[in-house]
Structure 1
């Protein structure tokens, strides 16, 4: 388990046949470096602000219900 925790992977066999893999879990990043974000942004498609707002208006509740009035 220490080896797996340190990034090593293992193939599990039974009678010489591969039946599984023991691999370390990926750790979720909490931070994306600015350079990586900038690189991804360069290839992203343009967003139409008008279409975005229209989509929001179509899906958001338009009524301002008072949650305490029920």
Structure 2
């Protein structure tokens, strides 16, 4: 993976896209902050290691289930909510 600035991408777009076509991945920065990734379409991963997911989930926001339910009820209304007793996915 290579990191280049937005300005460098604009100046060398043909060379960068040739590298991408050959399998290279670029991270594009603007004012020193990474804003994009340019990679070959065929290089899309189908498997993400558990360790990587755990690292990413450590920085995910915490979810307050009760608050989320209250917000959903306020927005959608609670009259038509499926309760535990009438779960459509429950096997008979």
Q: TM-score, structure 1 length as denominator?
A: 0.42
Higher helix proportion (structure 1 or 2): 2
